[in-house]
């Protein structure tokens, strides 16, 4: 049952009550495209998580497939990579040839590479799916 929709620019979060008591979910949308799912014990918790994600995108982050890449839309062209629930996965950077590389947290070797940030974002999402054995990397919960 949908409780409310939060909006921030072109992003929105459709918050709904779960069948479980004291559990709410939020479907993250950019325009009409689903970009992730968050969850929490209250509407306020889901709203706060959505606001934190919006703050990161306002600062240059990009959200797709339930994954946030910080430093995407600013001059940094590098930054942390995290799930929409806040779990840090690692970091990414761009080299002199504009290839982008992801290094998993607590690792020293590059985990994944791609010829653009957009393609790296897709590659990280695919890596998460295979690592978790999940069909959907957009789901995250508190």
Structure confidence by residue, pLDDT tens digits, 114-138: 999 999 999 999 999 998 876 454 4
Residue 43: strand, helix, or coil: helix
The pLDDT assigned to 92 comes to 98
Contact 65, 81 (CB under 8 A): no
The pLDDT assigned to 137 comes to 46
pLDDT in tens, 47-75: 999 999 999 999 999 999 999 999 999 88
Contact 14, 2 (CB under 8 A): yes
pLDDT in tens, 73-93: 988 899 999 999 999 999 999
Q: Is the model's pLDDT at 21 over the cut of 90?
A: no
pTM of the model: 0.88
Between strands 112-114 and 11-17, the pairing is unpaired
């Amino acid at each position: 049952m949908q409780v409310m929709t939060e909006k921030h620019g072109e992003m929105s979060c459709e918050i709904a009550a779960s069948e479980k008591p004291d559990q709410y979910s939020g479907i993250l949308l950019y325009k009409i495209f689903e970009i992730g799912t968050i969850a929490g014990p209250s509407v306020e918790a889901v709203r706060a998580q959505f606001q934190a994600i919006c703050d990161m995108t306002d600062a240059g982050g990009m959200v797709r497939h339930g994954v946030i890449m910080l430093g995407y839309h600013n001059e940094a062209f590098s930054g942390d990579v995290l799930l929409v629930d806040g779990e840090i996965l690692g970091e990414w950077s761009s080299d002199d040839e504009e290839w982008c590389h992801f290094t998993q947290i607590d690792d020293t070797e590059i985990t994944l590479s791609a010829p653009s940030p957009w393609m790296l974002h897709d590659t990280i999402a695919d890596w998460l799916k295979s690592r978790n054995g999940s069909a959907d990397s957009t789901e995250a919960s508190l």
